[in-house]
Amino acid sequence: IKKIGVLTSGGDAPGMNAAIRSVVRACAFHDIKCYGIYRGYEGMIDGDFVEMDARSVKGIINKGGTVLKSARSNKFRTKEGRQIAYDKLREAGIDAFVVIGGDGSFTGAMIFNQEFNFPVMGIPGTIDNDIYGTTHTLGYDTALNTVVDVIDKIRDTASSHNRLFFIEVMGRDVGHIALNVGIGAGAEEILIPEEDLGLDRLVESLRRSKASGKSSSIVIVAEGDKIGKSVFELKDYVDENMAEYEVRVSVLGHMQRGGSPSCFDRVLASRMGVKAVESLITGKSNYMVGIKNDVMDLTPFDQAVKGKSKINMELLRVSDIMSI
């Protein structure tokens, strides 16, 4: 392998820049040329490549977002799109790539590998932590800290006014963010995609909470929560059924994806980049780099894509006990 491409794809996440830096520097260390591919698979199709040397990634380890930009590419979902991408890579002499992204990005890489027998390696980057084969994805730890910090601030105003807040956090399919920030910020209830708490239990729990003398209440709602109601609908429901509460809503949105990566994410990104490049050098392909018990690990793409990342059920129980 003489030239490795690196791209970021799908939703951005803090730590992606640290991972780009790591891939570029690991290539430099092993005397391999490295090319940045702009705008994910879109840029691959457009041949939007730039050579990157060790110095070109200075000063980015602490930056949020991705200097290579990201995109969700529809063209790469088509065979024609992938053929053009392959031709562009060959033209540039790139003979392997590392994709930093989520399961959609890995599915694309896996299909590409099958069609063209092209060496690929994945690094999981998404704040949702919804990827099988790693206990942590890049950006997850940073997002937890960002969100906890914001909930603390909301708690200040909630308790000054004796209010109930429904706070929507990201997490389409998995409740990792909701569950962890809920415990970390002392939420009264946490609604996640994995469990249907049910409106009755929610109301009952809020009544109990009020009766026990709590001045404010925070309910964390994951984007994809099973109750199937938006935070605004939940507010309406409580407004109609619980006169004792004054309710407000806060949708945190994309601020959760921004900001400087935590030290944990920077270190993880650095380790993952090295592992991805060195795996390609030793002839491995079609794997995602992950971390398990503080050891770097490889999971075949098909397992990473098909497998489901599971929440820790113990956390649900801890949350119940803490919100007594």
List, by residue number, the catalytic residues.
128
Chain positions 237 to 266 lying near ligand F6P, rule: CB under 6 A, are 257
* Alpha carbon of residue 300 to chain centroid: 19
- Helices 79-91 and 103-116: crossing angle in degrees, nearest 10, is 70
Residue 21 annotated as lining a ligand binding site: yes
Tell me the CA end-to-end span of the chain in Å, nearest whole number. 58
Question: Residue 178: enclosing H or E segment and its boundaries?
Answer: helix 176-184
Q: DSSP string covering 68-80, please?
A: T-----SGGGSHH
Q: Does 223 bind ligand F6P (CB under 6 A)?
A: yes
Sole residue written with tokens 């001045």: 215
Q: Does 42 bind ligand F6P (CB under 6 A)?
A: no
Neighbours of 59 (CB within 10 A): 9
Residue 217 annotated as lining a ligand binding site: no
Residue 171 annotated as lining a ligand binding site: yes
Evaluate whether 101 touches 139 at the Cβ level (below 8 Å): no
Residue from 171, 182, 273, 290 binding ligand F6P (CB under 6 A): 171
Q: Does 220 bind ligand F6P (CB under 6 A)?
A: no
DSSP summary character for residue 195? B
Stretch that binds ligand F6P, among 105-113, 124-132, 157-165, 298-306 (CB under 6 A): 124-132
Q: Does 104 bind ligand F6P (CB under 6 A)?
A: no
Task: State the minimum distance, in angstroms, from the CB of residue 256 to ligand F6P.
Answer: 7
Q: Does 101 bind ligand F6P (CB under 6 A)?
A: no
Cβ closest to ligand F6P, residue 70 vs residue 217: 70
Residue from 127, 178, 221, 311 binding ligand F6P (CB under 6 A): 127
Residue from 11, 36, 81, 182 binding ligand F6P (CB under 6 A): 11
Residue 82 annotated as lining a ligand binding site: no
Cβ closest to ligand F6P, residue 10 vs residue 290: 10
Residue type, 67: V
Q: Does 169 bind ligand F6P (CB under 6 A)?
A: no
Q: Does 123 bind ligand F6P (CB under 6 A)?
A: no
Backbone torsions φ then ψ of 120, nearest 5 degrees = -135, 150
Residue from 5, 15, 102, 108 binding ligand F6P (CB under 6 A): 102
CA distance 122 to 246: 47
Cβ closest to ligand F6P, residue 103 vs residue 158: 103
Task: State the minimum distance, in angstroms, from the CB of residue 54 to ligand F6P.
Answer: 30
Exposure b/e, 74-88, CB count within 10 A at least 16 = b: ebbeeeebbebbbeb
Residue 187 annotated as lining a ligand binding site: yes
Cβ closest to ligand F6P, residue 158 vs residue 222: 222
* Alpha carbon of residue 34 to chain centroid: 25
Which residues make Cβ contacts (< 8 Å) with residue 113, sequence separation at least 6? 119, 120, 285, 286, 301
Residue 72 annotated as lining a ligand binding site: yes
Cβ closest to ligand F6P, residue 103 vs residue 188: 103
Residue 125 annotated as lining a ligand binding site: no
CA distance 39 to 276: 20
Q: Does 172 bind ligand F6P (CB under 6 A)?
A: yes
Binding site for ligand F6P (CB under 6 A): 11, 102, 126-128, 170-172, 223, 257
